[in-house]
Amino acid sequence: MSACYRTAVNIPNSRLTGNSQRGGNVLGMLGMDIPYLKAAHIVAVDEIGVVDPADNAPDHLPLQEYVWNRLHDAVVFHDHWLAVRKLSTTS
């Protein structure tokens, strides 16, 4: 089974929390800057939560919990994020 995806760019961060209500039809990449490390970072976001490629990160963390934790670490999220939306499924 494969799925076709179409890109949808420039989704405002204010709409991030609605991803869990999209039934797996929207997947995204969320970028952020980490000022105290002078580095940037990117994570994958799906309907289950955030997948962070960082060492020792859990498999999935709910999006709201991840954002809350990173804000307390003084991380600055990018204003927009890249997302893909499922168009159809074929068997």
Q: What is the mean pLDDT of residues 33-51?
A: 91
d(CA 35, CA 69): 15
Residue 8 has pLDDT above 90, yes or no: no
Encoding tokens for residue 13? 């961060």
pLDDT at residue 3, as a whole number: 44
83 against 67, higher pLDDT: 67
Pairing of β 2-12 and β 80-90: antiparallel
pLDDT at residue 90, as a whole number: 58
Please give the torsion angle defined by the CA atoms of residues 82, 25, 48 and 19, in that order, rounded to the nearest 10 degrees: 60
Least reliable range by pLDDT among 26-40, 41-55, 76-90: 76-90
Domain boundaries, the chain: 2-90
Q: What is the mean pLDDT of residues 52-68?
A: 86
User: Which helix (H) or strand (E) covers residue 39, if one does?
Assistant: strand 39-45
